[in-house]
Chain A
Amino acid sequence: MDLSYGPEYEAFRDELRAFIAENRHRAPAAPGAAQRAGADAVAWQQLLLEHGYTARTIPREYGGFGAEPDILTSRIIAEEFAAAGVPGGLSNQGISMLVPTLLELGTEEQKRRWIAPTLRGEIVWCQGYSEPGAGSDLAALRTSAREENGEFVINGQKIWTSTAHQADMIFCLVRTEADAPKHAGISYLIFSMKTPGIEVRPLRTMTGHAEFNETFFTDVRVPVDQIVGQRGQGWMVANATLGYERGMLGDPAALENRLAALVQLMHDERIDGVRAIDNAALCDRLVALQAEVAAMKFNGLRLLSNSLKGEPGGLAKLIVKLQSCELAHQISALAIDAMGELGLLYGGSRRERAGGSWQWNYMFQLGLIIGGGTAQIQKNIIAERGLGMPREPKLEHARAPKAGAA
């Protein structure tokens, strides 16, 4: 057990701390992940890009900093921004999911054209994966793309396209090979959201906000070279991306921040004049969550060490999405319970705490338990890939999905 980073890394950490101290007044308020970055956030992103505190390992020719991949450096950057309570580099679906996918599987031309403006926050992306009939069984998707005069003509419907209403671009899974087996008929396309034939309808959720959209495609024409990977390889391309999404949804530092906010809340809120944190039952729940957050933190350190040694993460990695999303939800649940009646206040009410964000989180985090691979799908993955348990036998009459508008 050696938890030191060594002098070279500590020097880097000192440098970064000095940078944050000097520049933190320029940092924007923490942006919601689904928001288009404002001018201050774009300027902040630019500053971080210049110093290599975001997109650090992305090659310079694509707008990154061009440093050698180094897990500990990335870790220090994440730690220091979190510790300072200052937002780090932009995190959105374009940066977290599309950029790594293009780096791995895109053409040179695609990399040069899309990565840099995405990193700068100038291009906002949305993800076109799920459909009304293709959720957990994503490969059953039916949005079709037939080739015609050097273009794909797309028809169908996507759902859960979170930033579609403000996105410039979409990365989208479509069925190009109507007669191929389910997984082999899919392609991964990128195209502008301003293309004629796209209609975005906000999808209001239980939170009362429209964090997601439904997106409809009617004869949307996209040049054939806007495919990532080959025709019929979209499933493989998408799986590369889903891995990044699960990484995004299981960040232990985010859990530590939520827990710290909960501890602060329970210090501040009083019940009959007694701090919530001194209420035995509430405090018991808090300490139980604190232990679980610690366990996930150390699980994360273990995974970090595994990757440093080039060892696979195994079970410790497969469980992260399931456990982290559940834990985040429980943290919000306790916050609401600790607030009692005040925990109900929402929608800008008088006496509302923290802008109603605990209630919003409580509901939205339930969405995260479902999204990005439901808890049940995660359990299948843990059982099958982690524990080597047998797959459910396939039903003989299960049909290959037919391409076509829903």
Chain B
Amino acid sequence: MDFGLSPEQRMLRDAVDRLLREHCPLDHVREVAEGGHAVSAAVVAALSELGLSGIMVPEEHGGLGLGLLDALVVAEALGAAVAPVPFVARCVLAPLALRLAGTPAQQARWLPRIADGSARFGVGLTEVVNRRDGGGVTAADGTLSGSALFVLDSADADAFVIADQGGQLHLVAGEADGLERLPLSTIDLTRSVGELRLDGVAAEPLGEDDGGTANRLVAAGRVLLAADSVGAGDVMIARAVDYAGEREQFGRVIGSFQAVKHMCAEMAARLEPCRSLVWYAAHAFDAVPDEALLMACHAKSHTGEVGRFVARTATEVHGGMGFTDLLGLHYWFKRIGFDRQLLGGPEIVRAEAAALQGWGKRAA
């Protein structure tokens, strides 16, 4: 019985933290974000040294062959550092899609290249959750048409995994004919999302199923986004506590006022259980398939709610300074905001969680 991270997972976390402290201080994040890149080539290169581009690639294809709980450890660290690194889609969801649904030939072709960083994927799943007006991808005769919105890690991608409206996944080459790639610029300048406009673009079905794989990918993505918020939330609380311990008003540090202390206590009290929840959700994904989808919903929706509370409260503890660009606190605020909306906001996700349990059915 050991609920928590293994010694290896703790070492992984330490290694990623160390690397990010060195290569990804806030000044660097700011430089990348303000340059409009959303991706730090330097940090990506440093993480590749640890083999993280192949974290989810099986060892026989040149990767580390690890599970979602291991990837979660990395996601939490990246959230804490607001690292401008394409990780969730590129290093986890794309190889996972190939592992779960790819043919042996597709796996042999792509997985080694994902592991060595020479194939950079973006992933578009809004067809299976949260499809909005203007989006919609249909498949016909080996081609895709329509618009895929909020394709994650898209900026410098050279290939895509795209879900169509039926939930079938497809591989699309980045330079395919009829593919138009349009950036979407969000509040979070540390993440890259884009719109793909597809006009009869050649696409290769990734295995064949009824959307089961796409649902699992969504679940994995949700757990990682939740973990990203846990990491980012941790830092926001730590920064709020530090600031409240230094800032003086009325002749005292503001952290000695109960009004301020209680804000910090509430943040910690709400965020701390999220850590255990996301751990379990990742573990369920790896090892308890019956619970995987529901726990991913719980992790995503609950951490989304708590994340928003922490993001605004930590900003408030900083007073006017929290609102400035100077402190850079807003990078975490926006990161948490991004985590909340992508792959389903809390209400959408809770409705799914209800449906999984046969609740929330409309009256006949």
Contacts and interface: CB of A to CB of B under 8 A. Distances in A.
A180 interface: no
Contact of A291 (B6, B266, B287, B301): B301
A126 B351 CA distance: 46
Given A283-B354, A294-B280, A389-B244, A301 B3 contact: yes
Interface residues of A, number: 54
Nearest to A252: B273
A323 B273 contact: yes
B2 A287 contact: no
A323 B4 CA distance: 20
Interface class of chain A by DSSP? helix
B96 to A, nearest CB: 18
B276 A5 contact: no
B81 to A, nearest CB: 21
Contacts of A1: 2-6, 69, 279, 283, 287
Contacts of B279: 1, 298, 302
B362 interface: yes
Interface in A306-323: 306, 308-309, 315-316, 319, 322-323
B317 to A, nearest CB: 11
Of the candidates B253, B269, B277, B301, the one having the most CB atoms from chain A within 10 angstroms of its own CB is: B269
A256 to B, nearest CB: 14
A201 interface: no
A40 interface: no
A405 interface: no
Contacts of B272: 299, 315-316, 319
Contacts, number: 171
Interface in A335-387: 376, 378-380, 382-384, 386-387
B298 interface: yes
Interface stretch (A88-96, A159-167, A274-282): A274-282
Nearest to B300: A291
Given A299-B273, A308-B1, A379-B262, A283 B241 contact: no
- Nearest 10 pairs between A and B by C-beta? A298-B276, A295-B273, A291-B298, A379-B265, A383-B261, A301-B3, A382-B265, A291-B302, A295-B277, A319-B269
Given A301-B280, A384-B261, A386-B268, 10 more contacts: A1-B283, A278-B359, A284-B354, A287-B354, A295-B298, A296-B273, A382-B269, A387-B265, A390-B245, A393-B252
Interface of B: 1-6, 69, 237, 241, 244-245, 252-253, 255-258, 261-262, 264-266, 268-270, 272-277, 279-280, 283, 287, 295, 297-299, 301-302, 305, 346-347, 350-351, 353-354, 359-363
